[in-house]
Amino acid sequence: MEPTIFDCEQLTVRELNVALRALPEGSSAVVLHPKGRHNMAVGMIKHLDITFEGSVGHYVGGLCDGVNIKVNGFCGWAGGENLMSGTIRVTGNASERVGASAHGGTIIVEGDASTRVGISLKGGTVAVAGDIGDFAMFMAQAGVLLVGGNIGEALGDSLYEAIVYVAGSVKSLGADARYEDMTASDVATVSNLCAVAGFTHINPNNVKRVASAKQLYNFDALKAQKY
């Protein structure tokens, strides 16, 4: 089946999203001239394959369940925020908070990403081929982040059950994050994710595993104090 073509020079964002939601289950669509507009392809709850031919703005693919999105360009803040299932692939760079609070699905960035990648991640998977900024995986509760390059400060601050794999250098770990030994299962996980993402530059046997030290699960700062 040929994809349905939408041209954003002729449609508002609202009109585009309404038209995408009206497509039958399993349809494919190509969106021309997105021109960095925000809130595109949000709230899609059926299986659709959507390709944006150009860069998009903030929140692309947010609140989606089952959609597969490809952005042939860059994306703004919070790409894939609250994603439930499906995939989002960005061929360029991503701005802040990519994958924020994602419960499921896979988000792939073929370039670099800015700060707070995977903040409050709740079960999704984020793979970034290049470098990412500070405060990645802050308060991430579940899920996986794979970084093919270097990472900034305070990685995994207040991390819970999520896991981070880093192929490059780490500027600093956040509170309660620690390095752990890689197991055979970890190597297999990284290998599989690299295959899905199409990352050929990562050696799964030469990555760092970062997880929670689990010292912040219970607050005990006032345990020995008296009033």
Report the candidate in 106, 98, 109 with the shortest Cα–Cα distance to residue 148: 109
pLDDT of residue 216: 83
pTM of the model: 0.94
In whole angstroms, what is the distance from residue 168 CA to residue 151 CA?
A: 7
pLDDT value at residue 227: 45
pLDDT in tens, the chain (227 residues): 799 999 999 999 999 999 999 999 999 999 999 999 999 999 999 999 999 999 999 999 999 999 999 999 999 999 999 999 999 999 999 999 999 999 999 999 999 999 999 999 999 999 999 999 999 999 999 999 999 999 999 999 999 999 999 999 999 999 999 999 999 999 999 999 999 999 999 999 999 999 999 988 776 656 565 54
Residue 53 CA: distances (Å) to CA of 16, 59, 163, 199 = 14, 16, 33, 22
Q: Single out the residue of 17, 19, 24 nearest to residue 1, CA to CA.
A: 24
Of 114, 126, 48, residue with least CA distance to 81: 126
The Cβ of residue 216 has, within 10 Å, a number of other Cβ atoms equal to: 16
Burial-class residue 2 by CB neighbours within 10 Å (0-12, 13-18, 19+): exposed
SS3 123: strand
The residue extents of the domains of the chain are 93-212
* H or E element, residue 187: helix 184-197
Residues 6+ apart with CB under 8 A from 224: none
pLDDT of residue 219: 63
Of 164, 157, 168, residue with least CA distance to 189: 164
Phi (first) and psi of residue 187, to 5 degrees: -60, -40
